[in-house]
Amino acid sequence: MIDKEEYEYVANVEDFEDDSRVLIDIKGREIGLFQTEDGYFAVGNYCVHQGGPMCEGKVSGAVTAGEDFELKYTKKGEVVSCPWHGWEFDIVTGEHLAHTDHRVPTYDVKVEDEKVYVRA
Protein backbone atom coordinates (compact mmCIF):
# COMPACT_ATOMS: atom_id res chain seq x y z
CA MET A 1 0.00 0.00 0.00
CA ILE A 2 1.23 3.45 -0.86
CA ASP A 3 1.36 5.95 1.94
CA LYS A 4 -0.97 8.61 0.56
CA GLU A 5 0.31 11.18 2.99
CA GLU A 6 3.78 10.80 1.62
CA TYR A 7 2.97 10.18 -2.04
CA GLU A 8 0.75 12.33 -4.17
CA TYR A 9 -1.49 10.93 -6.88
CA VAL A 10 -0.46 12.83 -10.03
CA ALA A 11 -1.39 10.88 -13.16
CA ASN A 12 -2.86 7.75 -14.65
CA VAL A 13 -0.91 5.18 -16.64
CA GLU A 14 -3.18 5.86 -19.61
CA ASP A 15 -1.97 9.49 -19.63
CA PHE A 16 1.28 8.20 -21.15
CA GLU A 17 -0.32 6.62 -24.21
CA ASP A 18 0.41 9.58 -26.49
CA ASP A 19 3.62 10.87 -24.96
CA SER A 20 6.15 9.27 -22.62
CA ARG A 21 6.12 12.45 -20.56
CA VAL A 22 3.65 14.21 -18.33
CA LEU A 23 4.37 17.51 -16.63
CA ILE A 24 3.00 17.83 -13.14
CA ASP A 25 3.02 20.34 -10.32
CA ILE A 26 3.30 19.37 -6.69
CA LYS A 27 3.03 22.17 -4.16
CA GLY A 28 4.27 24.65 -6.74
CA ARG A 29 7.17 22.44 -7.76
CA GLU A 30 7.26 21.67 -11.50
CA ILE A 31 8.21 18.10 -12.20
CA GLY A 32 8.57 16.01 -15.34
CA LEU A 33 7.22 12.48 -15.11
CA PHE A 34 8.62 10.04 -17.67
CA GLN A 35 7.67 6.55 -18.72
CA THR A 36 10.64 4.41 -19.80
CA GLU A 37 11.11 0.69 -20.52
CA ASP A 38 12.25 0.33 -16.93
CA GLY A 39 9.34 2.14 -15.33
CA TYR A 40 8.42 5.65 -14.31
CA PHE A 41 10.85 8.39 -13.26
CA ALA A 42 10.41 11.97 -12.13
CA VAL A 43 12.87 14.87 -12.29
CA GLY A 44 12.63 18.58 -11.55
CA ASN A 45 11.62 20.82 -14.44
CA TYR A 46 14.27 23.46 -13.79
CA CYS A 47 17.58 23.29 -15.61
CA VAL A 48 20.55 23.92 -13.34
CA HIS A 49 22.25 25.73 -16.20
CA GLN A 50 20.14 28.84 -16.73
CA GLY A 51 16.75 27.81 -15.40
CA GLY A 52 15.18 26.53 -18.61
CA PRO A 53 12.09 24.25 -18.56
CA MET A 54 14.23 21.21 -19.18
CA CYS A 55 11.51 18.56 -19.00
CA GLU A 56 9.76 20.14 -21.98
CA GLY A 57 12.71 19.29 -24.23
CA LYS A 58 13.38 16.35 -26.48
CA VAL A 59 13.27 12.88 -24.96
CA SER A 60 15.84 10.65 -26.62
CA GLY A 61 18.77 8.34 -26.14
CA ALA A 62 22.42 9.35 -25.99
CA VAL A 63 25.29 9.01 -28.38
CA THR A 64 28.23 7.32 -26.68
CA ALA A 65 31.52 5.90 -27.92
CA GLY A 66 32.88 2.38 -27.72
CA GLU A 67 36.45 1.30 -27.11
CA ASP A 68 37.57 2.22 -30.62
CA PHE A 69 35.48 5.36 -30.52
CA GLU A 70 32.76 3.81 -32.68
CA LEU A 71 29.50 5.63 -32.07
CA LYS A 72 26.62 3.93 -30.29
CA TYR A 73 23.10 4.98 -29.43
CA THR A 74 22.26 4.08 -25.85
CA LYS A 75 19.86 4.97 -23.00
CA LYS A 76 16.95 5.11 -25.42
CA GLY A 77 14.06 7.06 -23.90
CA GLU A 78 16.10 7.89 -20.79
CA VAL A 79 17.52 11.27 -21.69
CA VAL A 80 15.81 14.64 -21.72
CA SER A 81 17.52 17.69 -23.22
CA CYS A 82 16.70 21.19 -22.05
CA PRO A 83 15.08 23.10 -24.93
CA TRP A 84 17.13 26.22 -24.17
CA HIS A 85 20.74 24.98 -24.65
CA GLY A 86 20.50 21.25 -25.12
CA TRP A 87 21.92 20.21 -21.76
CA GLU A 88 21.26 16.47 -21.56
CA PHE A 89 20.04 14.89 -18.34
CA ASP A 90 19.65 11.25 -17.42
CA ILE A 91 15.99 10.82 -16.52
CA VAL A 92 16.80 7.96 -14.15
CA THR A 93 19.60 9.56 -12.13
CA GLY A 94 19.09 13.28 -12.78
CA GLU A 95 22.76 13.58 -13.76
CA HIS A 96 23.95 15.84 -16.52
CA LEU A 97 25.58 13.58 -19.11
CA ALA A 98 28.60 15.84 -19.71
CA HIS A 99 29.30 17.45 -16.36
CA THR A 100 28.23 14.71 -13.99
CA ASP A 101 28.71 16.95 -10.98
CA HIS A 102 25.62 18.81 -12.18
CA ARG A 103 22.30 17.17 -11.45
CA VAL A 104 18.64 17.92 -11.13
CA PRO A 105 16.51 16.50 -8.33
CA THR A 106 14.79 13.15 -8.83
CA TYR A 107 11.64 12.00 -7.07
CA ASP A 108 10.40 8.56 -6.10
CA VAL A 109 7.54 7.25 -8.24
CA LYS A 110 5.13 4.44 -7.44
CA VAL A 111 2.30 2.91 -9.45
CA GLU A 112 -0.73 1.22 -7.98
CA ASP A 113 -3.99 0.32 -9.71
CA GLU A 114 -2.95 2.15 -12.91
CA LYS A 115 -2.41 5.30 -10.88
CA VAL A 116 0.94 7.07 -10.66
CA TYR A 117 2.15 8.59 -7.40
CA VAL A 118 5.14 10.84 -6.73
CA ARG A 119 6.83 11.69 -3.46
CA ALA A 120 7.87 15.32 -3.50
Partner 1 sequence: MAKSDSAQDRIRSIDDIQTTVDGDFHITERQEDFIEYIDDPYHSMMFDGRKMSDNLSYLSSFYPSAGLFSTGVVSGKIDNPTVNSKETVEKGMEVLNVDRVHADPTQNLYLGIVHHDDLAAALANAYNSWVIENIYDKDIGIYGPAVVAPQRPDKAAEEIDDRKNEDEIVSVFIPSGGTHPPLGNEKYWPIYEAAENAGLPVVFHNASGTQIGNFPLQFQGTNRYFSNHVPTHAMTHMMHITDMITRGVPVKFNELDFVVQEAGLGWIPYLMQRMDNEYAEKREDVPMLEQPPSEYINDQFYFTSQPIEGAKDPDYLNSIVRLLGPENLMFSSDYPHLDFDHSDELLRGLRSQFTSEEISNIYGGTAIKVFDF
4-63 positions binding partner 1, by CB under 8 A: 49, 62-63
How many residues bind to partner 1 according to rule CB under 8 A?
16
**Which residue number, 64 or 76, has a Cβ lying nearer to partner 1?**
64
Of 12 and 60, CB closest to partner 1: 60
Measure the CA–CA gap between 24 and 118, rounded to whole angstroms. 10
Q: Is 98 in the site for partner 1 (CB under 8 A)?
A: yes
In whole angstroms, give the CA distance from residue 110 to residue 96. Answer: 24
**How many other C-beta atoms lie within 10 A of the C-beta of residue 5?**
6
Sheet containing 39-44, strands listed edge to edge, beginning at the edge strand earlier in sequence: 21-26, 29-36, 39-44, 106-107
Q: Which is nearer to partner 1, 42 or 48 (CB)?
A: 48
Confirm or reject binding of residue 96 to partner 1 (CB under 8 A): yes
Q: How many helices (H) and strands (E) does the chain have?
A: 0, 10
- Shortest Cβ distance from residue 76 to partner 1 (Å)? 14
Q: Which residues would be at the binding site for partner 1 (CB under 8 A)? A: 49, 62-65, 69, 71, 85-88, 96-99, 102
